[in-house]
Amino acid sequence: MSSLPPACDSVAAQCSKASPPGPHPNLVLVTTILASALAFVDGSVVNVALSTLGQKFNADAASLQWVINAYLLPLSALLLLGGAAGDYFGRRRLLILGTSVFASGSLGCALASGLPALLACRLFQGVGAAMLMPNSLAILGQTFSGASKGRAIGIWAATGAAMAAIGPVLGGWLIDLGSWRAIFLLNLPLACGAILLAWRIVPRDRRGDAYPLDATGGILVTAGLAALTWALTVGSSRSGWTSTALSAAAAAVFLLLIFWRLETTRGARAMMPMDLFASKSFVGLTLLTLLLYGALAGLLVLLPYVLIKVAGYSATAAGAALLPLPLILTLTSPAAGALAGRIGTRLPLSIGPLVVAAGFLIALRIDSSASYWTQVLPMIVIIAMGMSGAVAPLTTAVLTSVDQAHTGSASGLNSAVARTGGLVATALLGSVLAAEGDRLLGAYHVAMAIGAAICAAASLSAFTLLDRKGPVSN
C-alpha cells in the first residue's frame, strides 16, 4: 500500500468549526503525528514481510494478497465515515478510540497463531486507521490557525513520509533477526504515547450538530468493495474466473450501484456527496488518483517481494531499496507545489504520471542479478520524481475543482480513492505472487508494463478532463 496521502492534508485546513486552541498546541501536533504514524508505518512495513509470512504460514498467493487487503478494505471504505463520526461524536474521542482499536489489532497480529487470526486482526487495524487518520488531521485544523496551521500540517506530512521511509528498513531488519511478529509490536509504543497525550493534552470537544452518520452507506460500500476484492483475488489466481468469482463480481456491482443510488438520494447527508461529480475536473482527478496510486501500490508490493524471492536480497536490503522514494518526495514536493501555483495543475498532473510510467518501463531491466545501483535505484528515482510532480499539485487541484462548501469532502474522498486503488491493484496480483523463479520474474515484468500503461492512462485523464488554465471553483 502507498503511504502517500493525496489531498488529505487539506482536510485539516478545511475544518469549518475550529475550537479554541489548547494550552499545548505543539504537544497536540506531537499527538497527531504519533497517531497517524501508525497508519504510515503499517502501510509500508508489511510489504517487506510478505515473503516471510508466506513461508511461516504456508500461505498461497491469495492469502498474501489478503494480508494487505484486509487492512486496506476497511480503510478505503470507512475513511469518510470515520471523519463524519469525529464530527458527530467528537474528534478527540474518535482519535483515542481509533488508536486503541489499531493497537489492539497490532497486538493481535503479533500474537496470531495462524493466518485467519492474522487477517482478522488486520481488519481491526484498518478500522482503527479509518477512525484515527481523518480525526488526527481535523484536530490539527481546530488547534492551529493562519500560518501556524500550514506549518503544522507540513510537519505532520514530512514526519509521515519519514516514518514511511524508516518503516520498511526497520521492519526488514527485525525480519532478518527472525522476528516478523516484532513489526506489529512496533506500533504499540506509538499507540500508547498517542493515547496518553490525546487523553491529557487534546481539549475535549462536544458532540457536534453534524448530520446523522450514513451507516447504511458505510455498510454497503464495505460489502461491495469486499465482494469486488474477493472476486478480483480469485479471478487473478490460478483458478481463474470461476462461476463463484463471477457471482461475487456481480454482487459487488449490485451493492455498489445501490450505494451510489443511496448517496444520490441522501444529498448533503451522504457519506459521498454526489454533487462533487458535477465537476469534470474532479472526475478527472478522481480517475487519476485511482490509476496512479493503484499502479504505485502494485509496485510497492511487488518490488520488495521480487528482490527477496528472485534477486536474493535480505529483508533489510529490500526495505532500504525503497528509501529514496519518500525522501525525494519530501524534498521536492514543496517546489512542485509552488510550480503548480504559477503555471496551473493541468501540465504537472499530465507530465508527472508519464514520468512515473517511464520509471515502470525501466523496472523491466530488473533481473535475477538486480544490481541496486544500476537497475533498482534509477527506476526508484525516476518514479519518485514523477510522483513529486503529481502529489502536491493534486492537493491543489482537488481543492480548486469544487466549490468551497465541498473542499473537505473532496479531499477526504480523494484520499479514500487512493486507498481503493491500492486495494484493487493488490487484488489483481495473484498470478504474480503465485509464480516462482523465472516465472515470477516474467510475471513481474508483465505487471510493470501494465503499470506503465495505467500511469499513461492517468496522465491522459488529467490532460483531457482538467481545465487548460487549471481547475477553477464552480
pLDDT in tens, 205-234: 765 555 677 788 888 888 999 999 889 888
Section 298-310 average pLDDT: 92
The predicted structure's pLDDT at residue 138: 80
Using the 3D structure, point to which of 208, 237, 259 is the last residue of a domain: 208
Do 221 and 284 sit in the same domain of this protein? no
| Least confidently predicted of 43-57, 158-172, 212-226, 280-294 | 158-172
Using the 3D structure, point to which of 164, 179, 208 is the last residue of a domain: 208
Do 359 and 308 sit in the same domain of this protein? yes
pLDDT-derived band of residue 290, with 50, 70 and 90 as boundaries? very high
pLDDT in tens, 135-145: 887 887 778 77
Do 104 and 3 sit in the same domain of this protein? yes
pLDDT in tens, 412-440: 788 888 888 989 999 898 889 888 888 99
pLDDT-derived band of residue 67, with 50, 70 and 90 as boundaries? very high
CA dist 297 and 425 (Å) reads 7
- Unique residue bearing C-alpha cell 461491495: 224
Do 106 and 120 sit in the same domain of this protein? yes
Do 175 and 230 sit in the same domain of this protein? no
| Least confidently predicted of 120-129, 194-203, 410-419, 431-440 | 410-419
CB 167 within 8 A of CB 300: no
Do 31 and 119 sit in the same domain of this protein? yes
pLDDT-derived band of residue 7, with 50, 70 and 90 as boundaries? very low
Q: Is the pLDDT of residue 16 over 50?
A: no
Do 309 and 195 sit in the same domain of this protein? no
Section 320-334 average pLDDT: 85
The predicted structure's pLDDT at residue 446: 95
Do 162 and 48 sit in the same domain of this protein? yes
Residue 160 vs residue 150, higher pLDDT:
160
Q: Is the pLDDT of residue 318 over 80?
A: yes
The CATH number that applies at residue 72 is 1.20.1250.20
Do 172 and 252 sit in the same domain of this protein? no
User: What does pTM read for this prediction?
Assistant: 0.85
Nine-digit cell at 217? 452507506
pLDDT-derived band of residue 445, with 50, 70 and 90 as boundaries? very high
Specify the number of domains making up the chain: 3
CB 211 within 8 A of CB 271: no
CA dist 117 and 309 (Å) reads 25
Question: How high does pLDDT run on average in the chain?
Answer: 84
Nine-digit cell at 76? 478505503
Q: Is the pLDDT of residue 194 over 60?
A: yes
Residue-range definition of the domain harbouring residue 119? 1-208
How many angstroms separate the Cα of 164 from the Cα of each of 77, 322, 330, 366?
22, 10, 11, 24
pLDDT-derived band of residue 97, with 50, 70 and 90 as boundaries? very high
Do 83 and 225 sit in the same domain of this protein? no
Do 32 and 123 sit in the same domain of this protein? yes
Do 103 and 236 sit in the same domain of this protein? no
CA dist 68 and 43 (Å) reads 9
Residue 1 vs residue 239, higher pLDDT:
239
Using the 3D structure, point to which of 249, 270, 291 is the last residue of a domain: 270
| Least confidently predicted of 204-213, 257-266, 394-403 | 204-213
The predicted structure's pLDDT at residue 9: 43
Q: Is the pLDDT of residue 273 over 90?
A: no
Section 448-465 average pLDDT: 95
Can you say whether residue 470 is alpha, beta or left, with left for phi > 0 and alpha for psi between -120 and 50 degrees? left
CA dist 352 and 431 (Å) reads 29
